[in-house]
Chain A
Amino acid sequence: MINITINSQSIQVPEETSILQAARMINVHIPSLCNIENREAIGACRVCLVEVEGAKTLMASCSTPVKEGMVVHTQSKKARLARRTVVELLLSEHDGNCQTCNRGKDCELRSLAEEMGIGDLPHEGRKIQPHIDDTTPALIRDSAKCIKCRRCVTVCNEIQGVGALFPQGRGFDTFIGPAFCQDLKNVACVQCGQCAAVCPVGAITEKSSTTAIWEAIENPNIHVVVQTAPAIRAALGEEFGYEPGTRVTGKMVAALRRLGFDSVFDTNFSADLTIMEEGTELLTRLKKALVDKEDVALPMFTSCCPAWINFAEFYFPQFLPNISTCKSPQQMFGAVAKSFFAQKIGIKPKDMIVVSVMPCTAKKYEVQRSEMNANGVQDVDYVLTTREFAKMIKEAGLDFCSLPDEEMDAPLGLSSGAADIFANTGGVMEAALRTAYEIVTGRELPVDNLHVAPVAGLEGIKEASIVIENTVDDWKFLEGVELKVAVSHGLGNTRRLLEHIKANKGSYHFVEVMTCPGGCIGGGGQPRYTDDSVRLKRIAGIYAEDEGKKLRKSHENPDIQKLYAEYLGAPLGEKSHHLLHTHYKAKSKTVEDDVDAVAK
């Protein structure tokens, strides 16, 4: 332990602690912009400068480790004024159209200016060259608003291991963007939106679909269906002042109805459907491998996450055969809504608009994929992020907190607890195991409260195994098999896991991948700012939702059973295949290669 003094208060902290961390331990607030928890501090923004006795310069508290006997002043005049000047300089280069900025009051720079009591701006001069990159369906980058704090760079390179964003240029004209001044669509960006999730200002945001959705709602000839992803209900409340993790499912449903959606359904329904299809697919692959001795691609990977699909298509095309052919729950929902449900209420698919509320920006990209049109029209038409959805609620003048709790509509509104946990890392795996184990053995998964503890939590790569015993007759070939599974979240972890699988064939049977740290509850479209404490609270909320349900397993969902009976037939049947499954293809990482490919 190290003894240090911060603002005359003596404390003991572990070695390797930064001054910033030490200050937080005793509730001394030091502002910070560039720092991201659990990453090596880069010391770029300088808003966390403090005075350290004996040091020649002020020190960035995020990147300065404590030293025995160190005496730190966070509120000395010198430190205070320097931090203030940093923010003043940032404001002087920043395109400060706060009135029309997407961030509004949620802007960290604006909060800092307010905290520091900055009134007028003493430094005037050239502003940053504006460039708006809206070339992807998911994201908009506005360089004039960028303050070069580099959180996006850290997230994109270090946490996601994607590397679509870099600092470029020099001096005042330094900017953050894809290499060689390209726009995002020309590079291997997976559109996960983690950059938008960490951006302190309005420089990276999701591309809004709000206007089109309002128009659809207001069009009497269109039946507008909405689905909400499992991760929304434990995060949406934050936009209205609730603690992270507070479940607001009922109010959310009420809000959607009041916004004018014609049918309010749940993506959870199609999550249950996914388990039926994907579980069956896994068992089929295992059978082919173990009984028929066919050369099937194992391990099988989950396919719910569109950014993960993107990542695999760009960076690991050799694993594409391993990815489950199941569409994501969002897309399954759209396909079912525009076929089964449309038939049921007697309208044509083209007269139906399916909107989904997602914690994700990549979902905006996913709906536009050319193969996602099972019924001759796009399966899903528009995607709202949690943040956009909250804005619509505010725009409509709804007092969210005083809304009553309402129930989802039938027939696509009922879901099991297994669907709820799709929202967090390890959840899809757990849901699949609950069903698959029971199908194979006829018994409930023998774990405490149905939770597969080893695959839960925020550890980057998790693994578990279950020995299958006493199987029912149909699945005798699995008797005694040790089913090995792995879970990763964050593409940086995923990359490590994939490299491991490449090197160690046969290590797993089934792997769940979620792009965002913590899973969808930490998605790129969720309320800002998401750190591990927020992630844990949202996960707790999701598990509580699951545990509060009578139905805990997907195959028990009666509406799912009805759907198969009335419409689909059996999992992996022909209709399923047509509506609910898809395929993947390798993508080139650069636009030039694409041009070459076209030319050939």
Chain B
Amino acid sequence: MSNNISKISSPLDLIKLREKLSNKTVENGEKQQILVCFGGSCLASGAKEVRDALNAELEQAGMSDKVQLVETGCMGPCVAGPVALVGSDRTFYQSLKAEDAKDIVQSHICGGKRVERLMIADAEGKIPAPCRQDMEFFKRQTQVVLRNCGWIDPANIDDAIANNAYSALSKALTDLGPDGVIEQMKISGLRGRGGAGFPTWLKWNFAKTEKADTRYVLCNADEGDPGAYMDRSVLEGDPHAIIEGMAIAALAIGAEYGYVYVRAEYPLAVERLNIAIDQAREYGLLGNNIMGSDFCFDLEIRMGSGAFVCGEETALISSIEGRRGEPSPRPPFPAEKGLWGKPTVLNNVETFANVPAIILNGGEWYAQIGTDKSKGTKIFALAGAVRNTGLVEVPIGTSLGELIYDIGGGIINDKNFKAAQMGGPSGGCVPRQYLNIPMDYETLKEVGAIMGSGGLIVMDEDTCMVDVARFFLEFIQEESCGKCVPCRTGTRRMLEILERICAGEGELQDIDRLEELGAFINTASLCGLGQTAPNPVLSTIRHFRKEYEQHIIDKHCEAGVCAGLVRAPCISACPCGVDVPGFVSMVGDQRYAEALKLHRERNPFASVCARVCFHTCEDKCRRAQLDEPVSIRAVKRFMVDQEVMVQMPEVRENEKNAQRKIAIIGAGPAGLSCAYFLARLGYKPLVLESEPRPGGMLVQAIPSYRLPREELAREIRMIESIGVTIETDKKLGRDYTLQSLKDDGYEMVYLAIGAPLGVDLDIKGSGSEGVTEAMSFLRQYNIRGSVPVGKKVVVIGGGNAAIDAARTAMRLGSEEVTVIYRRTKEQMPAYAEEIEDALNEGVKLCTLLNPSEFEVEDGHVSGVVCQHMKLGEFDRSGRRRPQGDVEDEPEVIAADQVIVAIGQALDKQIVIKDLDVEFNESGWVKADSRTGATSVPWLFAGGDVSTGPSSVAEAIGAGERAAVEIDSLLTGEEHSFWRGYEDQGAHFDPDAEPLPYAREKLPTIPVDHRRHNFNEVEQPWSEAVALRQAKRCLRCDYGKQPCVSKEV
């Protein structure tokens, strides 16, 4: 600010001053600039130290005169703080430390060479966007409200004036007048950004036309939604925008005084706003006869002391008046009777910050941005599990997916997006099937959320939605003013129900109770806070009812969050419920046999799973928050390799059970697991297998370089040895039928025939020679021992079968194997490790390619014609849907063999022809996931036959659940003695620091040693490594006794 302040006493004065300042800035343009973000987040991560270091370095380099160091407000990309923009091209530097100042000054400022290590690089170390204007994060934004944030020094009014501050006020005073201002506001279509979206001009007009001697303008800066801080950033980064916006509003309605109600938790905002108010007063931009006109307006700050409810307008007014911040009934609305009973306009910070831009550029300009009903831009505070957390301003109507994936950079650790919590405690959760919806007031309301103030918390698969609902309700309970009964007591009762559910003490009626109470509170509460308080609960029930049911019925929290239900997140994540910390810690104690026995309590296929399990346990491992997850599967691999004598499980002989006839169809993981658990209860089930060898997909589809045949055979023998009979070459529909089993006296039948049919690709040329399908290709090799392969093989598909087929073909002598997939590599359903191994072995991967026809020569396939794909909108699974581009030249990949691996199916007409069994929408046998029960009372089903292709562990878990259900139907009692957890007494010191060892992978045999054989690729660890790795476990289970579904 210039030292010799002279009042701005006319609009011309303002123009002159701006011109003078702009000229200075032009001069400065020759000077270099370093803009250091002084937003709250960057300050917290050390922006001040960086600024000091830069100052010192500049001085030392003698550059202090030539470089202007500016402390700006928030720039937006808060996760990367402290951040700075350097030089005329605005190079973006992130995660700065004081030590980096030297490099920036010497290399960039003095040497003209950018400091690459401080720039944002992609995974390969490439820097895609060095400058602000090139970065996706900024490029996709439209900054109206944030126009000056990050560009100007908020503590210097000259900086603001040079950037057009108060020009809109000048225009309003000279050209528009009160009616003109309201007219422009009406044209602009601006709606209140506090959340409710009430048309701003209409509110102003109400206050203007109400008869009164005095009117007030209030700014609501009591931002309190968890995760939202856009108002704070504007207050801190561009306070003059708010002062100007309020002054324009005051002019429009005829007010002479205003208050900014800021929460006391924003001391920096208060400080900068105070400075701005003082400076505006000194310039005569606040006070009497502003710019020489008759218009008088002044304002002051009122600090709120942390009551969330004071964001509600009547409560805010009550607080300004010096009373307890509590809402009062509306009507009368503040526009009629507000502060001290006078007509009052109350808007939030973001709304006011829009006003100068609208007045200056015209309402029509503003109305071009956004959607039909929701004009303009909206700031969102991206938080949670998204890579680029921070503030972003986009046109209203931008899709949620664009915000999260394009601007937000996607989900951290490439986890699955689950839902976005929008609008804070009054809002709701938007699940992934709505990633394409435009974010505007109406659409968000339709899906059960609200725009709110723009808080957007991104949640990944590790989030428990019941817990989220509980969290928000707890917040509301603490913040309810306690005035009206529905909010005070109703939300308390809802919270108590949720706490019960999270603790595993819920009952099914609780969901109805929550919905009833929620609907009641919605409609019966006194103020907006109460009326919207149940929304987080109602919206999670609406979109995630299944999760509530899991908590209540299964006593299971899939995300591994609810302490009362989760002994350790890995256990919750395991479809079989294996006591992971139990066996891992026993391995650490070298109690290998006991560890293996513990594993087989819940999952007989320890050795199989040590090799092929999808290990969802590792995805939920809490060690990942420290460094990387425990290598649970590899520890398991070491454990099973120590098995000398076969570890037999506990079997409870039972003469009565032994007499009962139970048939199990299919000797895959589901069928054998069901047989195993039945046998442990004394039953003697019969397993019928259509192929010559038992094992199902484990033997037919999974190649032996992943799962050596003997490992599988050994565990099957163990199952047989406890009383299970397996008959092979017995095919359902050929040798017997479901009805004939029933007629033969089988009381219960478990159908676990998997999804054995491959799916053909129905395009031109698909019938030609050389086109085969992956399931039969793999089965033929694995069972018969040989299969024809071509020289140039193309595999179509992205799942495990595709990769297995590709690697098998490679081993059988193909010269070139290409996998083509219509989506991206990240979206391939095959396990990432398998893809990497395949690539190492020389398999080529072509993604975003979709086969449109096969080229055929002499009846034999000669090539695959592919269309290039692009990612389009999001589908229901939250993945972007690939879309063909017709304009594009198709690509032809030469091939003499094509293996189609695009899915699996069930041949229900042939196998289940004599029984009226219900199927689900996807064509699989309809079976209760908890019990395996089908529509036929004596028939149960589990594994792929009822779910479609899924993981081995899922199938094993389903087999166990069906065994428990069958037994309980036959005996009328629960006998599942293997459920429930005991402390294994492994050594553990809860006070010790976690051991610092890094995660290790299993070693593999060199690629040239595996090309032409089927030797097992993965090799075990040495004992020393295994013990170290096992001890990485943090023992989340230590001292915990969670609820289990059924007491035994």
A residues engaging B (CB < 8 A)? 41-47, 49, 56-58, 60, 63-65, 78, 81-82, 85-86, 89-90, 92-93, 122-126, 148, 150, 166-167, 169-174
Query: A85 near B524 (CB under 8 angstroms)?
Result: yes
Kindly provide the distance from the CB of B513 to the nearest chain A CB, expressed in whole angstroms. 8
User: Chain B's nearest CB lies how many Å from the CB of A83?
Assistant: 9
B residues 462-518 touching A (CB-CB < 8 Å): 476-486, 488-493, 496, 513, 517
- The verdict on A167 contacting B483 (CB below 8 Å), with A46-B526, A64-B331 known, is yes
For window 316-359 of chain B, which residues contact chain A by CB distance below 8 Å?
Answer: 324, 326, 328-329, 331
Q: Is the CB of A57 within 8 A of B524?
A: yes
Note all chain A residues with C-beta closer than 8 A to B326.
167
B interface, by DSSP: helix, strand, loop or mixed?
A: helix
Given A43-B484, A49-B524, A57-B523, the answer on whether A65 and B479 have CB atoms closer than 8 Å is no
Q: In the complex the two chains form, what is the Cα distance from A49 to B523 in whole Å?
A: 10
Tell me the residues in window 391-448 of chain B with beta carbons closer than 8 Å to chain A beta carbons: none
**Known contacts A43-B328, A148-B488; is-contact A58 B482 (Cβ 8 Å):** no
Count contacts between A and B, CB distance < 8 Å.
Answer: 110
Would you call B522 an interface residue if the criterion is a C-beta within 8 Å of the partner chain's C-beta atoms?
yes
Task: List chain B residues, Cβ under 8 A from A58.
Answer: 523-524
Taking CB atoms, residues of chain B closer than 8 Å to A93 are 489, 492
Q: Which residues of A contact B478 (CB under 8 A)?
A: 170-171
Query: Given the interface contacts A89-B485, A89-B493, A172-B489, does A42 sit within 8 Å of B328 by beta carbon?
Result: yes
Taking CB atoms and an 8 Å cut-off, the chain B residues in 71-120 that contact chain A are none
Provide the bound-state CA to CA distance between A105 and B480, in Å: 32
B-side contacts of A65, CB under 8 Å: 331
B518 vs chain A, min Cβ distance (A): 12
Contacts of A60 in B (CB 8 A): 329, 526
26 contacts between A and B (CB under 8 A): A43-B328, A44-B485, A44-B526, A45-B484, A46-B486, A46-B525, A57-B524, A58-B523, A60-B526, A81-B520, A82-B520, A85-B490, A89-B489, A89-B493, A90-B485, A90-B489, A124-B493, A125-B492, A148-B483, A148-B488, A170-B479, A171-B478, A171-B479, A174-B481, A174-B482, A174-B488
Does A123 contact B493, Cβ atoms closer than 8 Å? yes
> Does any Cβ of A come within 8 Å of B531's Cβ?
yes
Nearest-neighbour CB distance to chain A for B814, whole angstroms, equals 67
Q: Which of the four size classes fits the interface of chain B? A: 20 to 34
The residue of chain B having its C-beta at the shortest distance from the C-beta of A55 within the complex is B523
Is there an interface contact between A89 and B490, defined as CB atoms closer than 8 Å?
yes
Residues of B within 8 A of A124 (CB): 493, 496
Name which residue of chain B comes closest to A59, CB basis: B329
> Measured between alpha carbons, how far is A171 from B524 in the docked complex, in Å?
16
Q: A41-B329, A43-B328, A64-B329 are in contact. Are A172 and B524 (CB under 8 A)?
A: no
B-side contacts of A78, CB under 8 Å = 523
A369 to chain B: closest CB distance in Å?
34
Considering the complex of A and B, which 10 residue pairs feature the smallest CB-CB distances, nearest first? Answer: A174-B482, A43-B329, A63-B329, A172-B492, A89-B489, A125-B496, A171-B480, A171-B477, A57-B523, A123-B493
Residues of A contacting B484 with CB < 8 Å? 43-46
Min Cβ gap B329→A in Å is 4
> Could you tell me if A172 and B477 are in contact, using CB atoms closer than 8 angstroms?
yes
Min distance, Cβ A6 to any Cβ of chain B, angstroms:
18
CA A85 – CA B491 in complex, angstroms?
13
Could you say which of B307, B482, B525 has the most chain A C-beta atoms within 10 Å of its C-beta? B482
Distance between Cα atoms of A172 and B487 in the complex (Å): 9
- B482 close to A148 (CB less than 8 A): yes
Chain A neighbourhood of B477, CB < 8 A? 171-172
Report the separation of the CA atoms of residues A555 and B484 in the bound assembly, to the nearest whole angstrom.
Answer: 55
B495 to chain A, nearest CB (A): 8
User: Closest approach, in angstroms, between the C-beta of A255 and any C-beta of chain B?
Assistant: 40
Contact B492 A82 (CB under 8 A): no
Task: Select from chain B the residue with minimum beta-carbon distance to A43.
Answer: B329
Chain B residues positioned under 8 Å from A43 (CB to CB): 328-329, 484, 526
Which residues of B256-294 have CB atoms within 8 Å of chain A's CB atoms? none
Rounded to whole angstroms, the CA-CA distance of A82 and B328 in the bound complex is 20
Residues 573-631 (chain B) with a chain A CB within 8 angstroms = none
Contact A126–B479 (Cβ < 8 Å) = no
* A86 contacts across to B, CB distance below 8 A: 485-486, 524
A85 to B531, CA, bound (A): 15
User: Are A167 and B524 in contact, with the CB atoms below 8 A?
Assistant: no
Alpha-carbon gap, A123 to B486, bound state (A): 12
Closest A residue, CB atoms, query B520: A85
Tell me whether A167 and B329 are in contact (CB under 8 A): no
Interface centre among A43, A92, A150 (most CB of B within 10 A): A43
Contacts of B329 in A (CB 8 A): 41-43, 60, 63-64
Choose among A81, A126, A172 the residue that contacts B482 (Cβ–Cβ < 8 A).
A172
The CA of A148 and the CA of B481, in the complex, are separated in Å by: 12
CB distance from B514 to the nearest CB of A (A): 12
* Contacting pair B492 A126 (CB below 8 A): yes
In the assembled complex, the CB of A124 is this many whole angstroms from the nearest CB of chain B, namely 8
A167, B324: Cβ atoms closer than 8 Å: yes
Residue of A whose beta carbon sits closest to that of B524: A82
Smallest beta-carbon distance B557→chain A, Å:
22
Separation in Å of the B839 CB from the closest CB of chain A? 56
Q: Which of B485, B491, B520 contacts A45 (CB 8 A)?
A: B485
Q: Are A46 and B485 in contact (CB-based, < 8 A)?
A: yes
Question: How far is it, in angstroms, between the C-alpha of A167 and the C-alpha of B513 when the chains are bound?
Answer: 29
Name the B residues within 8 Å of A64 (CB-CB).
Answer: 329, 331
Q: How far is the CA of A65 from the CA of B476 in the complex (A)?
A: 29
Asked whether A92 lies within 8 Å of B493 as measured between CB atoms, the reply is yes
Complex CA–CA separation, A45 to B520 (angstroms):
14
Q: Are A171 and B526 in contact (CB under 8 A)?
A: no
Instruction: Give the distance to chain A from B590, nearest Cβ to Cβ, in Å.
Output: 49
Task: Let me know if A171 and B483 touch, CB within 8 A.
Answer: no
Complex Cα distance, B496 from A57, in Å, reads 25
Task: Name the A residues within 8 Å of B486 (CB-CB).
Answer: 46, 85-86, 89
Which residues of chain A are within 8 angstroms of B523 by Cβ–Cβ distance? 56-58, 78, 82
Which A residue's beta carbon lies closest to that of B324?
Answer: A167
> A45: shortest Cβ distance to chain B, in Å?
6
Q: How far is the CB of A182 from chain B (nearest CB, A)?
A: 16
A85 to B489, CA, bound (A): 11
Bound: A335/B106 CA distance, A: 98
Query: Most chain-B CB neighbours within 10 Å: which of A60, A81, A174?
Result: A174
Query: Could you say which residues of chain B place their CB within 8 Å of the CB of A172?
Result: 477, 480, 482, 488-489, 492
**Binary per-residue interface labels of chain B (880-911) against chain A in the complex, 1 for a CB within 8 Å, 0 otherwise:** 00000000000000000000000000000000
Bound: A58/B496 CA distance, A: 25
Distance of A178 from chain B, by nearest CB (Å): 14
> In the complex the two chains form, what is the Cα distance from A85 to B480 in whole Å?
18
A321 to B488 alpha-carbon distance, docked (Å): 48
In the assembled complex, how far is the CB of residue B105 from the closest CB belonging to chain A, in whole angstroms? 51
User: A171–B492 contact, CB under 8 A?
Assistant: yes
Q: How many whole Å from B552's CB to the nearest CB in chain A? A: 17
Q: Which residues of B contact A45 (CB under 8 A)?
A: 484-485
- A41 CA / B483 CA spacing, docked (Å): 13
B558 to chain A, nearest CB (A): 27
**How far does the Cβ of A205 sit from chain B's closest Cβ, in whole Å?**
22
Residues of A within 8 A of B483 (CB): 42, 44, 148, 150, 167, 174
| Given the contacts A57-B523, A148-B488, A171 and B493 also touching, CB distance less than 8 Å | no
A123's nearest neighbour on chain B, judged by CB, is: B493
Q: Interface centre among A56, A78, A122, A125, by most B CB within 10 Å?
A: A125
What residues of B have a CB within 8 angstroms of the CB of A126 in the complex? 492, 496
Residue ID in chain A nearest B528 by CB atoms: A57
Bound-complex Cα distance A327 to B477 (A): 51
Residues of B within 8 A of A41 (CB): 329
Query: Which residues on B sit within 8 Å (CB–CB) of A47?
Result: 485
Q: A46-B486, A89-B489 are in contact. List 13 more A-B contacts (CB 8 A).
A: A43-B484, A64-B329, A65-B331, A85-B517, A85-B520, A86-B486, A125-B496, A148-B485, A148-B488, A150-B483, A167-B324, A171-B477, A171-B491
The residue in A49, A167, A170 that gathers the most chain B C-beta atoms within 10 A of its C-beta is A170
Closest chain A CB from B576 CB (angstroms): 37
